[in-house]
A = this chain, B = another copy of it.
Amino acid sequence: MIWLECDYTCGAHPAVLKHLVETNGENTPGYGLDPHCENAAQMIRELCQAPDAAVHFLVGGTQANLTVISAALRPHQGVVSADTGHIFAHESGAIEATGHKVLTVPTPDGKLTATQIDALCQAHADDPTAEHTVQPGMVYLSNPTELGTIYTLAELEAIREVTRRRDLLLFLDGARLGCALAVEDSGVTLPALARLCDVFYIGGTKMGALFGEALVFPDPALARDFRYLIKQKGGMFAKGRLLGVQFEALLSDGLYFQIGRHAVELAMELRRVLEEKGYPMPVPSPTNQQFPILPNEVLKRLEGVCTWSHMSCPDPEHTQVRFCTSWATTREEIEKVAALL
């Protein structure tokens, strides 16, 4: 079976596993106060060209999102998100459970625009009863988005300008960041993110780690007392070094970027075939998630050969699905699936 339903069905990339195995017998202090976490943090500071950045490792995306957002906002503030945003659509109300509303903006492609954010803030400012509504306090972007799309450098810069002017924090969820960074013409790099975001994360779980996300606060002042919050929200690992160890492996020898390029390359190959066959892909994605609308008979052929995620049924004879590549996907697998499309 070829697993294309998502990018977390397999275990860790062999290099990550190897490093976990070779460090398993070490003894270190707990809770992330160990040399591996410090080393991985330093590697991140260098890759981001952000020498003062505070770096914290979280166990997963929802944990990272809820901890960051609840740490940063005052009680009357909400976080602005695309209505497709993971925090609004797929986290079981995690943000609301910390007391904060997600203020949504509809998007055709999963991407917020600077104009939309500005308009939402202006509407709040113009509202004579603004105090009876939730104050926007932060903008949440995911890059790649949940639809596989990515932000260009110019788009992020425009969003940054609005968030500065409107006194909003800018938070970028990089659960699949390696795939966004693999699209070279976007202009987005780690140093650019460190320059533009108040906080963002370099996702591990979906990029070859067993689990883990590396949060980067370019200005460490924003991370004040952040470890209290990690602990309070249940995200502080006793054997915290597991996170540092995995990121040491991912960030060595460019492995993280290579994993992103590998997944995107295979996804582009799949996309090429899907386009050739003329299957509609309403939102073209340049990253590792592809969302074609396929005839049900094609899906029937794929049954037992590969897996996919069901998205929706636009009509009785077609189904929109998601195919997702990862570090573990092989060219042979893609070719085998392509042959059946």
Binding site for B on A (CB under 8 A): 1, 3, 5-6, 8-12, 14, 17, 20-21, 23-31, 59-63, 65-67, 70-71, 74-76, 78, 89-94, 96-101, 128-129, 131-135, 205-206, 210-211, 225, 227-229, 231-239, 242, 310, 328
Q: Chain B residues with Cβ under 8 A from A65's Cβ?
A: 234
Assembly CA distance A12 to B245 (angstroms): 14
Taking a contact as CB atoms closer than 8 A, the residue among B1, B17, B21, B131 that contacts A27 in the complex is B1
Asked if B71 contacts A210 (CB within 8 A), the reply is no
Known: A76-B225, A237-B211. A91 touches B24 (CB 8 A): no
Taking a contact as CB atoms closer than 8 A, the residue among B8, B29, B75, B238 that contacts A211 in the complex is B238
Assembly CA distance A293 to B263 (angstroms): 55
Asked if A133 contacts B92 (CB within 8 A), the reply is yes
Q: Chain B: which residue is nearest A62 at the CB level? A: B234
Asked if A93 contacts B134 (CB within 8 A), the reply is yes
Known: A1-B27, A92-B76, A133-B89. A234 touches B231 (CB 8 A): no
Q: Can you spell out 15 A-B residue pairs with CB atoms less than 8 angstroms apart?
A: A8-B238, A10-B25, A11-B26, A17-B24, A25-B328, A59-B234, A60-B234, A60-B236, A60-B238, A61-B238, A65-B234, A75-B97, A91-B132, A94-B233, A128-B310
Assembly CA distance A60 to B233 (angstroms): 11
Assembly CA distance A153 to B46 (angstroms): 54
Minimum CB–CB distance from A253 to chain B (whole Å) comes to: 20
Asked if B28 contacts A9 (CB within 8 A), the reply is yes
Asked if B93 contacts A76 (CB within 8 A), the reply is yes
Assembly CA distance A62 to B63 (angstroms): 13
Taking a contact as CB atoms closer than 8 A, the residue among B225, B231, B238 that contacts A74 in the complex is B225
Q: Chain B residues with Cβ under 8 A from A96's Cβ?
A: 78, 96, 99-101, 134
Q: Chain B: which residue is nearest A64 at the CB level? A: B234
Q: Chain B residues with Cβ under 8 A from A25's Cβ?
A: 10-11, 328
Assembly CA distance A98 to B67 (angstroms): 13
Q: Chain B residues with Cβ under 8 A from A92's Cβ?
A: 76, 131-134, 228-229, 231-232
Minimum CB–CB distance from A76 to chain B (whole Å) comes to: 4
Minimum CB–CB distance from A47 to chain B (whole Å) comes to: 24
Asked if B91 contacts A232 (CB within 8 A), the reply is yes
Q: Chain B: which residue is nearest A88 at the CB level? A: B101
Assembly CA distance A335 to B45 (angstroms): 43
Q: Chain B residues with Cβ under 8 A from A12's Cβ?
A: 24
Minimum CB–CB distance from A224 to chain B (whole Å) comes to: 9
Asked if A211 contacts B228 (CB within 8 A), the reply is no
Assembly CA distance A328 to B225 (angstroms): 33
Q: Chain B residues with Cβ under 8 A from A94's Cβ?
A: 231-234
Minimum CB–CB distance from A94 to chain B (whole Å) comes to: 5
Q: Chain B residues with Cβ under 8 A from A1's Cβ?
A: 27
Q: Chain B residues with Cβ under 8 A from A131's Cβ?
A: 31, 92, 227-228, 231
Minimum CB–CB distance from A132 to chain B (whole Å) comes to: 4
